[in-house]
Amino acid sequence: MKTAIYPGSFDPVTLGHLNIIKRAAQCFDRVIVCVMVNSKKHGLFTPEERVELLERCTARFPNVEVDFSDELLAAYAKRRKAHVVVKGLRAVSDFEQEVQMAVINRKLNPRLETMFLASSAKYTYLSSTVVKELARYHANLDEFLPREIIEDVKNKLELRSDDCDGSRQH
């Protein structure tokens, strides 16, 4: 059984992520979508919330599993007996960093290959950061987020906004 891991912070999962998941699910027997910790990013959603959002969005894919890990990807892949990492590339700017990570992962786990999937043209501009910014300004999110989680994102940002407003009054 060929197992691939699609790692990311998924904060939140976008239609671009979902497109890569769908395409990877067609290529592999099993795809593990793994919420990973990125020390450079401070999430809107907790890792547990991101797992739950991803599970809702990927429920229609029978060979997709969602997980969380705070370990190095190379170690996680070895533990899960996966030999392929799937990474989506939106632009040339993604390529340099992703190749560097692929080389490092392969050094740490020599059996680990990285497969790059070019983003579908309609999602090349899309990122979780862009979506969060659009949501802060109450933009229509239908073309950016899976419908299953649009309200979750709006509600989370409203809660964050309320928390910020409340903290200024003290």
Residue 1, exposed/middle/buried by CB under 10 A (0-12, 13-18, 19+)? exposed
17 is catalytic: yes
Tell me which of 17, 50, 87, 156 is the catalytic residue: 17
Q: Which residues contact 170 (CB under 8 A, 6 or more apart)?
A: none
Sign of the dihedral defined by the CA atoms of residues 145, 148, 152, 155, in that order:
positive
User: Active-site residue among 41, 79, 111, 147?
Assistant: 41
Distance (Å) of CA 7 to CA 122, 134, 158, 169: 21, 24, 28, 39
Cβ atoms < 10 Å from Cβ of 81: 9
As given in the structure block, the two tokens for residue 118 are 């070019």
Which of 23, 83, 90, 106 is the catalytic position? 90
Catalytic residue among 9, 69, 119, 128: 128
Catalytic annotation present for 122 = no
90 is catalytic: yes
Give the residue numbers annotated as catalytic, written as ranges.
Answer: 17, 41, 90, 128
